[in-house]
């Protein structure tokens, strides 16, 4: 009987781990690498890099996934790896592929949901839109109950002691979004950049191109052993791993500034898209036009 029970437990563990492709990228740091795709009814918005960090007393979840089921799978994966209690769910920003697994952790006693000081407002503003399109876009009908705002907000920095390891959470100025939060693990010098860094997946602008480039400049001055992007492969060659994204955003800004100076309107820019960067990125056709529109609207009004 004990052998059968052990077999069942092992099979369950392998099933969950295979489903999430959990990988330990540094001591005590586990990541599920999402697929590089647009959200759809096949992937159910399970496209972001999500995971958790294990201390001696607490586990911190870093982004919970694109739907409640994925959140539940992540919670189950944690349970298979450690019996240490989950104390924190940290959301790095408002995009749905990072927050809609929160509900799976809501019933944990004394759980704290942590986010940027602007995250709760962003959830309130965008939540209804995410819910309204969820069934059609990702094949799952989300509800208001699936929006779990932060109970703890980070205004500048916040240090979390997991027991034997300290995480430093930083609330960034507007960049990828206006509510970007990063998580730095001092024990392994691992930086969880989330969507401040895209690798292979075209960067997606939903905040400020000028602000994002400014944050990149500051981050480049620091040293990290491991960097976890929001989308794409784990980077162990910092700051070289940031250069493709930096170049894309710089060229986007430079080309648009020239168009604006020449008096060329956005409508024309969108009709005559420069595709020179398309070969370097996945999902270029899905997001480059949006980036053009967002960046043009910002740069049109700069001094």
* Range 134-154 average pLDDT: 98
**C-alpha span between 227 and 106 (Å, rounded):** 28
**C-alpha span between 241 and 62 (Å, rounded):** 21
Which domains occur in the chain, in start order? 9-241 (3.60.15.10)
Flag whether pLDDT at 79 surpasses 60.
yes
* Range 93-119 average pLDDT: 98
**Alpha carbon distances (Å) from 236 to 64, 126, 226, 241:** 23, 34, 5, 8
Residue-wise pLDDT tens digits, 18-55: 468 899 999 999 999 999 999 999 999 999 999 999 99
Query: How far does CA 21 lie from the centroid of its chain?
Result: 17
Say what the alpha-carbon torsion angle 71, 72, 76, 81 is, to the nearest 10 degrees.
10
Flag whether pLDDT at 5 surpasses 80.
no
Flag whether pLDDT at 221 surpasses 90.
yes
Strand locations in 42-137 (E): 50-54, 59-62, 86-90, 112-116
Residue-wise pLDDT tens digits, 155-203: 999 999 999 999 999 999 999 999 999 999 999 999 999 999 999 999 9
**C-alpha span between 83 and 7 (Å, rounded):** 19
**C-alpha span between 132 and 138 (Å, rounded):** 11
Which residues, listed in sequence order, are joined to residue 50 by a DSSP beta bridge?
32
Element (H, E) at 2: helix 2-20
Q: Please answer whether residues 100 and 138 qualify as being in contact, where contact means their C-beta atoms are separated by less than 8 angstroms.
A: no
pLDDT of residue 303: 73
What proportion of the chain, given as a percentage, has pLDDT over 90? 92
Flag whether pLDDT at 139 surpasses 50.
yes
| Listed range (9-13, 51-55, 220-224, 257-261) with the worst mean pLDDT | 9-13
First to last CA, the chain: 75
Q: Mean of the per-residue pLDDT values for the chain?
A: 94
* Range 232-244 average pLDDT: 97
Q: Provide the token pair at 9.
A: 């437990």
Flag whether pLDDT at 11 surpasses 50.
no
């Amino acid at each position: 009987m004990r052998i059968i029970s052990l077999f069942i437990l092992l099979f369950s563990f392998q099933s969950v781990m295979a489903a999430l492709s959990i990988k330990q990228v540094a001591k005590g740091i586990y990541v599920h690498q999402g697929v590089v795709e647009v959200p759809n009814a096949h992937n159910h918005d399970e496209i972001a890099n999500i995971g958790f960090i294990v201390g001696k007393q607490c586990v911190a979840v870093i982004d919970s996934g694109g739907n409640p089921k994925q959140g539940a799978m992540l919670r189950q994966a944690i349970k298979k790896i450690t019996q240490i209690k989950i104390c924190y769910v940290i959301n790095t920003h408002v995009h749905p592929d990072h927050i809609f697994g929160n509900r799976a952790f809501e019933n944990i006693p004394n759980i704290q949901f942590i986010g940027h000081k602007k995250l709760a407002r962003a959830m309130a503003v965008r939540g209804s839109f995410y819910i309204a399109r969820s069934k059609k876009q990702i094949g799952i009908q989300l509800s208001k109950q699936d929006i779990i705002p932060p109970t703890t907000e980070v205004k500048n920095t916040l240090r979390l002691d997991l027991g034997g390891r300290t995480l430093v959470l930083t609330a960034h100025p507007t960049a990828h979004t206006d509510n970007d939060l990063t998580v730095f693990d001092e024990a392994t010098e691992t930086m969880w950049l989330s969507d401040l860094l895209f690798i292979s997946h075209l960067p997606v602008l939903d905040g400020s191109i000028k602000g994002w480039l400014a944050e990149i400049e500051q981050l480049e001055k620091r040293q990290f052993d491991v960097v976890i992007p929001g989308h794409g492969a784990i980077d162990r060659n910092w700051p070289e791993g940031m250069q493709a994204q930096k170049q894309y955003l710089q060229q986007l800004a430079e080309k648009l500034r020239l168009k604006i100076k020449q008096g060329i309107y956005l409508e024309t820019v969108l009709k005559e898209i420069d595709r020179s960067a398309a070969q370097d990125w996945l999902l270029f056709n899905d997001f480059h036009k949006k980036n053009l529109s967002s960046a043009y609207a910002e740069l049109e009004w700069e001094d």
